[in-house]
Chain A
Amino acid sequence: MERISLAAGTALCLLLTGLAVERAFGEPVDDTLEIDGVPMITRAAAPEGHPFDEVLSGWLFREAETRATQEDSFENPGMLAVERGGEIWETVDGSMGKSCASCHDDAAVSMKDVGATYPKWDADAQRPINVELQIDKCRVENMGAEPYKFDDAEQVALTAFVKHQSLGKPLAIDLTQGELQTWWEKGKDVYYTRTGQLNFACASCHEASMGKYIRADHLSQGQVNGFPTYRFNTAGMVSLHNRFRGCIRDTRAEMPKAFSDELMALEVYVTWRGTGLSVETPAVRQ
């Protein structure tokens, strides 16, 4: 009897508000994202060998207000970082008297695919290279400038600016370059290895429990297509390796260094897991 009345109560709740449905089951929302008239792919068929049938942008897991903030590029506070990045792009730095623009000219043209195709294989270093490291490499080799310290505000802003040029482009990294496939395997190991006092792997939350709530937090697939993202909890920009480290810290494990082999492998693997999703940089998250 009790079970029947409970079921009736639940059905009534569902009839009353759509929000209740979202809350009760923690499903991603059925909504479409368009930024400045550019449609974003927030759901895509998963690549072969992927544990899910469909890959989903983290945008679908966020509250209505958070989603709306990202939909309006004026309102999106992450665009402040992108604008700052645009200024850095034009600013001369280093002993060779050059700015990014001296060689790369108009970022809208020269950087248009970068956000969707990195990490790439760096034949010189014999390891994967992401946008942050590519910027550093350029600064050292071509500008005679110092590499950025990890999470320097300028590094985050310039990375956001460069990736933003690919807004809307579907993620498509090429694993056939160099030994990227081996690094993908390594990254997969990292993704599924349980660590820390809480004994969580990335997959514990973002695969096994995707769509559920961990306390008040709605677990997404942990996609990386919106990084660097603007987060309300810190009222600032968060880079991908900062987020990786934050997640690992929360499992109460030792945090690998930013851009370490472990985290670069993870970036390669996790970027592949989002194949087909639009670059949303700078995404807005909770």
Chain B
Amino acid sequence: MSSKPRVKVPKTASAGEVIVIKTLISHEMESGQRKDKDGNPIPRKIINKFTCEFNGQPVFSCDLDPAISANPYFEFSAKVPESGTFKFTWVDDDGSVYSDEQPITVE
């Protein structure tokens, strides 16, 4: 399965407004605890870190562990002081980094 992130951020906000951000990424989150049909362990492959930055400032980040289910979904809120860009990154066990950016305009 390809890991494509989806992010939902409002296009506009008023200064200092608290907005809700939703993110979802398709990922199998293989825990490393399972075995295949022949009894061999299936290697762990999960997203182990998620971060969100606004204009270079950290907003939210977390570490993910093998018990998190497939297609991790995060919803959190952030205060928006000025126009700028939210940057989201997901770090995979295999070293891949998936990212997305969403601009927001403060009116």
Verify if B71 is at the interface (C-beta below 8 Å from A): yes
The residues in B between 58 and 78 inclusive whose CB is less than 8 angstroms from any CB of A are 69-71, 73, 75
Chain A: which residue is nearest B73 at the CB level? A75
User: What is the CB-to-nearest-CB distance from A235 to chain B, in angstroms, rounded to a whole number?
Assistant: 4
Cβ 8 A contact of B71, one of A80, A83, A84 = A80
Cβ 8 A contact of B69, one of A74, A75, A84, A235 = A235
Verify if A147 is at the interface (C-beta below 8 Å from B): no
**Interface-central residue, A80, A83, A236, by most chain B CB under 10 Å:** A80
CB pair A75 B1 closer than 8 Å: no
Chain A: which residue is nearest B1 at the CB level? A153
CB pair A74 B24 closer than 8 Å: yes
CB pair A75 B71 closer than 8 Å: no
CB pair B24 A236 closer than 8 Å: no
Chain B residues near A84 (CB, 8 Å)? 2
B residues contacting the other copy or chain, number (CB 8 A): 14
CB pair B26 A80 closer than 8 Å: yes
Verify if B6 is at the interface (C-beta below 8 Å from A): yes
Chain A: which residue is nearest B29 at the CB level? A235
Chain A: which residue is nearest B2 at the CB level? A84
Chain A residues near B79 (CB, 8 Å)? none
User: What is the CB-to-nearest-CB distance from A70 to chain B, in angstroms, rounded to a whole number?
Assistant: 13
Chain A residues near B8 (CB, 8 Å)? 74
Verify if B34 is at the interface (C-beta below 8 Å from A): no
Verify if B44 is at the interface (C-beta below 8 Å from A): no
Chain B residues near A77 (CB, 8 Å)? 24, 26, 70-71, 73
Chain A residues near B29 (CB, 8 Å)? 235
| Residues of chain A at the chain B interface (Cβ within 8 Å) | 74-75, 77, 80, 83-84, 153, 232, 235-236
- For this complex, 20 residue pairs linking A to B, each with C-beta atoms less than 8 Å apart, are A74-B22, A75-B22, A75-B24, A75-B73, A75-B75, A77-B26, A77-B70, A77-B71, A77-B73, A80-B6, A80-B24, A80-B71, A83-B4, A84-B2, A153-B1, A232-B69, A235-B29, A235-B69, A235-B70, A235-B71
Q: Which 3 A-B pairs have the closest CB atoms?
A: A235-B70, A80-B26, A77-B71
